[in-house]
Amino acid sequence: MESKIGSCFCPRRIFTGMSKFTSFLLLLIILMAGVTSCSVLRTTFSTMKTGYRVAKSTVKGTIWAVRGTYELTKETTKLVYHIGKFTFEVVRAPLEYPLVRDDLQTIDGLPVKEAIRQGRVKNAPYTVKGQHYVPMTVASAQTYGETGVASWYGEETRRQPGGSMTANGELFNPGGLTAAHKFLPLPTHVQVTNLENGRSIIVRVNDRGPFPSQTNPDSGNRIIDLSRGAAEQLGFVEKGVARVHVETIQLEDG
């Protein structure tokens, strides 16, 4: 008969005929080896979990964000973290997935997916329908704060098989707390406040947009495009747009 210790098995029959003291020592050695091997298995998972809080010293739109542990590394395919009551789940998208913004043409002078593969995205210049865009530097993003119109996007991706990819290579989740911005480095955390009802949330900027469309050229004047999940929390899904204030925030380990 076998005894299960955690996820490791230790046969009892091997102790038959041994003295109690010898059996105890052998059992202790097996237990220690089992715990060690199980803990090694746990470290092989490619998911990182951590938490942050908004720093008390944050002043409107004046400070940039954390040390980079909220970014996917080469070894990590999934990242889960918390900022206060908000939970963020970041998943690396397979390169064969279509872009949410299929009108993105180049990033840093390269085909979009090649730039994503090389990690040349964060604040690299890019083109959309022949129009050249130059994002902010990390330093200039520290003082970003803007009031304007927000919209939401990406609902059509629910009908696509598999999934869709944002401009920095993340899996797009329509129900998550994410956003698209034309000029902020990717990713950036911002606080978005709906000035029409006072609701406020934190979102992860991981995509580019909004851009002018053929049916509505004025859509390019909007300052941020939110996921449906973010728009729901801000209370403007049915209306489609809302007047908001957007500002970068400072984060610290929670």
With bands split at pLDDT 50, 70 and 90, how would you rate the model's confidence at 237? very high
Residue indicated by tokens 């090649």? 114
Residues 151 and 52: their CA atoms lie apart, in Å, by: 27
More reliable by pLDDT, 254 or 119: 119
With bands split at pLDDT 50, 70 and 90, how would you rate the model's confidence at 213? confident
Collapsing DSSP to helix, strand or coil, 43 comes out as helix
Report the mean per-residue pLDDT for the chain: 80
Q: What is the pLDDT of residue 72?
A: 81
pTM of the model as a whole: 0.76
What would you report as the CA-atom Rg of the chain, rounded to the nearest whole angstrom?
24
Q: What is the pLDDT of residue 117?
A: 95
Return the H-helix or E-strand segment holding 9: strand 8-11
Q: What is the tens place of the pLDDT at every residue in 152-209?
A: 998 776 666 779 999 999 999 999 999 999 999 999 999 999 999 999 999 999 999 9
Q: What is the pLDDT of residue 231?
A: 97
Residue range 140-147: average pLDDT?
91
